[in-house]
Structure 1
Amino acid sequence: MIFAILRHPKRLLTLVLACFLIIVGCQPTKFQTRAAQEVSQLVLVSLSEPATFNYAINDSPYSVFPFIYKGLLDEDGITSKLKPGLAESWSIFPDKKRIIFTLRKGLKWSDGEPLTADDVIFSYRDIYLNKKIPTTYRDLLRIGDTGTFPSVRKLDEQRVEFTLPAPFAPFLRYTERLAILPAHALRSAVFSNDANGNPQFLSMWGTNTDPQKIICNGSYTIESYTPAQRVTFRRNPYYWRKDAQGNSQPYIERIIWQIISSTDNQLLRFRSGELDSLNVTPSNFGLLKREEKRGKYSIYNGGTSSGFSFIGFNLNQARNAQGKPFVDPIKSQWFNNLAFRQAVAYAIDRNRIKTNIYRGLGEVQHSPIAVQSPYYLSPQAGLKVYNYNPNKAREMLLSAGFQYNSQKELLDRNGKRVEFEMLVKSEDQSRIDAAIQIQQDLSQIGIKANLQVVSFNVVLRRLLSRRDWDCYVGAFGATGADVEPHLLKLFWSSRGSFHQFNQGPQPGAPPIQGWVVSDWEKAIDSLFNAGVQELDEKKRQAIYGRFQQIVAEQLPVFFLVNPISLQAIRDRVVNIKYSGLSSVFWNIDEWQITDK
């Protein structure tokens, strides 16, 4: 899922969210003509509205934050190399445990107030490391077997020093992902409690907040928000970035982020000439490619995307605070049976998914780590794979004590029909189509999977809050994992906030009872802890290779097809640098609109 989740808002917008550039408003043709005469602008499309304007507590990929916030460092979307961001430089001590960041001079917030080391201290110490604030980003900062956090101190107005309890290879990359937030606007809310004893910060900056009160440090500010319709962004006049000639960036004055849940409508509007850009899916690729010249646009090929798509079962054997099991105990026995999970893997025809749903524009996936990664373990190097073999699936089920009735329906050893709910988000038609084919494949081995298509916000609540789901066809958007596999920890660590297939207790959430962590989950925890402390690349490759082997053997999730990233963008938009390993908007500061 995001799944990818999850882990970094700058990437999270692209991995599970399909956002596209368009030039429309409430009345597209009139709005486009009038606006083009006034200011340069682009309009983006989101499949769903934002869940919050509070960065720290956001857990949805439908996020405005890539446009309004920055971290200490930036990342080149093509090379994945780190470069200066809010910090103009950084230095690492020989012990690899102390890092000093030096901020740029003259940084300002969108309200004109100075951005200083105090804001960095506040963001890390008082928000991300504050136990009273249930933020998913805290997981990124846990270091070592004990999950100890780094400490941070102010050296002067421009310099801050982080001290780590042990060498931690991903730390620099996380400072790019964690936004710096305004202390002058949020400090009082962090240290004031509501009637329930929780920080008032938790109710700050919801989507009902006046957008003018959202203080930013990124390329844009939020100008207005109309629920279920659009978010309008305006260029941040205090943004620090300038081009080589000294011109302020970004060049585009306004971005309008339309909220349109129908991908069919997006395609129609793009073809009619109203839209500047569209995410190209396998189903519309042939049509759009034929019209490319006439439509005056180009289709950018970013290669296979990072992250992973999968089908997974709820392995959680715990109960909620009222003592009710999250999963029906009968179903839980099936899902926690390794032979059952492996049989399901053999029963799914992924090549058919690739051909029929992705039109050949993808590759069968075997690992959670991108094939472009130096840490990827290939089948040729020993990774266990599950090629389509329904006969083997049936044999495994029979050997595990399952049986078939006269109608060829699968029953467990107690005669209970094997039937469960399969959850999928409504905003992605290709994922729905994949789920339908999986449903058909499972029916061939006697399993009845009842498809439930709901909005992704509902999916997130089911997965991460209620935990009352059976099976999920989803994805986890782990862009950047090709460079740093530890970014996957949110999903794979037993204590990770997105460890959805067996999520444990979470800070600030109601308690759960009887949570069980398997030995192989503990082994994965140990490998991730070892991987971040090992600076030798060959040794790190061995560590993450073993992690991939465990996942392939235990199958908490089964990987499906990794699609090719394609984006159609009108030729009037220039300076685009597109890669499937990063957000299409990663260099939006450099985008310009021409008269073509």
Structure 2
Amino acid sequence: MVSDQPYAQEFSRRRLLHGSAVAATTVVLGACSTTDGPTADRGDPDPSTRGGKGSRTKPVEPPAKFGEAPALAAQVKAGELPPVAERLPSRPYVVPHRWCTDGKYGGRMLNLVDKSDSGAINEYMYGRSPLRWLNDGLDIGPGVVESWESNDDASEWTLHLREGLKWSDGEPVTAADALYWWEDMVLDEVHTAIPPDSGRSGSGKPMTLSAPDDTTLLLTFDSPTPLTPALLANGVNTLDWFVPKHYLGRFHPKYNKEIEDKNWFEDHDQHANWVVDPDCPTLTGWHTTSYREGRQIVMERNPYYWCVDANGNQLPYVDEVVFSVVTEPEVRKLQIQEGSVDYVHGAFIPIGLGDISGMKSTQNQHDMDVLLWDSGSGTGSVFFFNYDYPEPGLRRLIRNPKFRQALSYGFNRAEAQKAIYYNTGEKTTGTYSPKSIEYQVNDEGKQVYRTWRDAYVDFDPDKAAQMLDELGVVDSDGDGVRELPGGGKLRIRIDVPADVSAEHSSKNNLLKADWEKLDIAVEINPIAPEAFGDQWQNGQLMAQSSWEVGDGPDHITGPWWFVPIEPARWAPLHGRMWSLRGTPEENKETDVYPWKRTPPRVDPEPGSPIARLWEMYDRAKSETDALARHRIVWDMVRIHIEDGPFFMGTVANYPQVTMRKKELRNVPARDQLALGGMVNTWAHPTPAVYDPEAYYWENPDAHT
């Protein structure tokens, strides 16, 4: 198993403001509507022949000579920096995107974020990742790790780092930086880090990590772990794998004996956050020079960034990027319309479909183009019950698939598609991303997707009412409202954070109106955002309707909605139990009622849908044959169909808005991307996958 083979086999983010001018927006978006999901064949034996769009899948050979930004060349001449060839690794990463053209150095790029944490900013930069997704998740390419291979059963992986790779302060990157993360953070008895999926086997046990030399890492697992490359490409929002030991060691008691605070790891991890701490070395294209919490983050080019363009010019092209923190949505829109912003990525800034007409009418002021990338969402705004609700009578009803199916038939998605998504996307029961590999690999996979999408998508209130009657969910006391089977009050409470976005709020109002027509009492219950997460994870809330399912590029490397393995989604107490597997906590409090445990957690009943999903998930993680793994996933999808829906979607794969100044180049259009884009998933970090370091100004001097 080697790295030069095409990859053919994985909290969604995005807020969408519901605007006006539905008719005008629908006209603008008509061409973006999708009907049956993407049709690209991810089994293509040679994706490098796909034509003029997408990205090359085999590493591009670096040229013999390298160029650099004029500002850095001046520093080299002054003796303040080594020459560019000495700052780059011996074989730098060459950006492989076919849409990229030769750029120009200089200028500043102004961006907006809604808060000053590192989450959204990390999604702009892929430079710290061991491997990288290419072609909207079709393929995997090298990153910090230049090449990799496994033994025959994929239980042992060897990673080869780029020789000569350097941190942003010029210090060498070696295998010791990965060992520090693993031994002094993950395995440290005091530090709170836990092994990521990329560091655990298919059975869930942590790997053994060793380093034969400075540029080689050996990952040894207790069972086959064939998805390791995908897991190494997933996401950018963690401290996984490579951290600067030479800097962080001064905050670790093992290396600095003056540290005695028992909570030392909190300070340590604050310094490990390269966005927040300007002194923390990074591997990203830009590094922080000024951090003002709640106001602004300023970053300048990393002189040691290890990526170049096709001609050997060191990236990034743009000298400086600025992220201004603006919390009020209307203020953000006003700043964009006034021309104070250069680049808007719709996954983080709520410029939604309803805002397009307004943005186009003010184009003379802001001088920005509106690009529509595919969101790749499997659901749009999603509703889901707490499968582990503490009240037994209501929990039995929630766990009855016929009840959830009846409610799905009672939801008029066509109305939501028109009012919220401007007749774009495709109505859906709720699935994983339509672009997921398991739906693309062959015709059988495409049919599995369509079957799940369409399972309970029809609006059929008569059928819904009949199913509720058959369940005994009837108006037994004559007050015009249905009760629980056998009697007792039934009220669906849709719990949402008080700051829920307009997209979800509009959908929730439609849900409430539709279900009330079925004679069901429905309440929308706003909860303080700071309390919402803990209450949900402890199983205290009834239902949630303020997220979406955008996960991909496959079901197994990003399984959080597909299989309950953590407590944030539809089966929080089951997810909590899974997350404690293999830890000392797993076998504690076994004689305590699950909802009274600390933390609350519950094992699945034998033969239950979750028990079967867990078992199949374990098998899929260890299955080395890709098609056999896909078939396991298809069987898991059938559980979601027959025993679901566990989460209820609205509209899948609607367009996602990106805006850029007309002079900002190398920002791809939808038709230049392999699958039209896949924005709404953390595992496939966007726009990082499109290398913003290669964006450039046609006239840099006008943007200083």
The alignment's TM-score, normalised by the length of structure 2, stands at 0.69
Counterpart position of 1:485 = 555
1:495 and 2:565 are equivalent in the alignment: yes
Q: Distance in 1 between matches of 2:115 and 2:394?
A: 32
Counterpart position of 1:200 = 265
1:591 and 2:690 are equivalent in the alignment: no
Match of 2:625 among 533, 536, 554: 536
Match of 2:638 among 546, 549, 570: 549
Inter-CA distance 485–463: structure 2 relative to 1 (3 Å threshold) = same
Inter-CA distance 275–247: structure 2 relative to 1 (3 Å threshold) = same
Counterpart position of 2:245 = 183
SS at match of 2:309: coil
Match of 2:438 among 375, 378, 397: 375
SS at match of 1:411: coil
Inter-CA distance 69–447: structure 2 relative to 1 (3 Å threshold) = farther
Counterpart position of 1:580 = 677
Deviates most, 69-78 or 291-300: 291-300
Q: Which amino acid aligns with 1:463?
A: W
Q: Distance in 1 between matches of 2:642 and 2:260?
A: 49
Q: Distance in 2 between matches of 1:48 and 1:348?
A: 34
Q: Distance in 1 between matches of 2:429 and 2:114?
A: 28
Q: Distance in 1 between matches of 2:432 and 2:569?
A: 16
Q: Distance in 1 between matches of 2:159 and 2:523?
A: 52
Contact persistence 1:42–1:255 (CA under 8 A)? yes
Counterpart position of 2:212 = 155
Deviates most, 304-313 or 245-254: 304-313
**What is the CA distance between 1:432 and its match in structure 2?**
1.9
Contact persistence 1:463–1:500 (CA under 8 A)? no
**What is the CA distance between 1:210 and its match in structure 2?**
6.6
1:560 and 2:650 are equivalent in the alignment: yes
- Aligned-pair identity (%): 16
Q: Which amino acid aligns with 2:598?
A: P
Contact persistence 1:103–1:158 (CA under 8 A)? yes
Q: Distance in 2 between matches of 1:581 and 1:494?
A: 23
Counterpart position of 1:512 = 599
1:45 and 2:135 are equivalent in the alignment: no
Contact persistence 1:68–1:222 (CA under 8 A)? no
Inter-CA distance 369–169: structure 2 relative to 1 (3 Å threshold) = farther
**What is the CA distance between 1:411 and its match in structure 2?**
1.9
**What is the CA distance between 1:553 and its match in structure 2?**
2.4
1:245 and 2:311 are equivalent in the alignment: yes
Q: Which amino acid aligns with 1:312?
A: F
Counterpart position of 1:470 = 542
Contact persistence 2:385–2:647 (CA under 8 A)? yes
Alpha-carbon displacement from aligned partner over 1:132-156 (angstroms, at most 9, x marks no partner): 5554762454323x42222221011
Counterpart position of 1:395 = 466
1:273 and 2:339 are equivalent in the alignment: yes
Contact persistence 2:405–2:456 (CA under 8 A)? no
Counterpart position of 1:521 = 610
SS at match of 1:211: coil
Alpha-carbon displacement from aligned partner over 1:527-584 (angstroms, at most 9, x marks no partner): 2222222233332222111111211222221122222223122211111135531413
**What is the CA distance between 1:73 and its match in structure 2?**
1.5
Q: Which amino acid aligns with 2:204?
A: G
1:169 and 2:226 are equivalent in the alignment: yes
SS at match of 1:266: helix
Contact persistence 1:139–1:497 (CA under 8 A)? no
Structure 1 gap ranges (5+)? 1-10, 20-37, 54-60, 318-326
Q: Which amino acid aligns with 1:501?
A: A
**What is the CA distance between 1:248 and its match in structure 2?**
2.1
SS at match of 1:274: coil
Inter-CA distance 431–478: structure 2 relative to 1 (3 Å threshold) = same
1:312 and 2:400 are equivalent in the alignment: no
Q: Which amino acid aligns with 1:523?
A: R
Inter-CA distance 577–588: structure 2 relative to 1 (3 Å threshold) = same
Contact persistence 2:133–2:140 (CA under 8 A)? yes
Inter-CA distance 230–200: structure 2 relative to 1 (3 Å threshold) = same
Q: Which has the higher contact order (CA 8 A, sep 6+)?
A: 2
Inter-CA distance 419–427: structure 2 relative to 1 (3 Å threshold) = closer
Q: Distance in 2 between matches of 1:592 and 1:138?
A: 35
**What is the CA distance between 1:79 and its match in structure 2?**
5.9
Q: Which residues of 2 match residues 14-413 of structure 1 at below 5 A?
A: 15-17=12-14, 40-50=107-117, 61-62=119-120, 64=122, 66-67=124-125, 70-78=128-136, 80-128=138-186, 133-135=191-193, 138-144=196-202, 146-177=203-234, 178-187=240-249, 189=251, 200-201=265-266, 204-205=269-270, 211-278=277-344, 279=346, 280-289=351-360, 296-306=367-377, 308-309=379-380, 310-316=382-388, 327-376=390-439, 377=445, 378=447, 382-383=451-452, 384-404=455-475, 405-412=477-484, 413=486
**What is the CA distance between 1:492 and its match in structure 2?**
3.6
SS at match of 1:222: strand
Q: Distance in 1 between matches of 2:489 and 2:15?
A: 40
**What is the CA distance between 1:407 and its match in structure 2?**
4.4
Deviates most, 297-306 or 198-207: 198-207
Contact persistence 2:106–2:319 (CA under 8 A)? yes
Contact persistence 2:384–2:543 (CA under 8 A)? yes
Q: Which amino acid aligns with 1:288?
A: M
Q: Distance in 1 between matches of 2:299 and 2:331?
A: 23
Q: Which amino acid aligns with 1:584?
A: P
Q: Distance in 1 between matches of 2:355 and 2:401?
A: 38
Match of 1:445 among 504, 515, 518: 518
Q: Distance in 2 between matches of 1:495 and 1:191?
A: 33
The alignment's TM-score, normalised by the length of structure 1, stands at 0.81
SS at match of 1:234: strand
Q: Which amino acid aligns with 1:344?
A: L
Q: Distance in 1 between matches of 2:414 and 2:619?
A: 35
Contact persistence 2:604–2:611 (CA under 8 A)? yes
Structure 2 gap ranges (5+)? 1-9, 17-104, 235-239, 440-444, 586-596, 670-675, 680-685
Q: Distance in 1 between matches of 2:638 and 2:545?
A: 22
Inter-CA distance 478–99: structure 2 relative to 1 (3 Å threshold) = farther
Larger Rg belongs to: 2
**What is the CA distance between 1:238 and its match in structure 2?**
2.3
Q: Distance in 2 between matches of 1:277 and 1:18?
A: 17
**What is the CA distance between 1:314 and its match in structure 2?**
1.1
SS at match of 2:281: coil
Q: Distance in 1 between matches of 2:618 and 2:196?
A: 15
Q: Distance in 2 between matches of 1:585 and 1:559?
A: 27
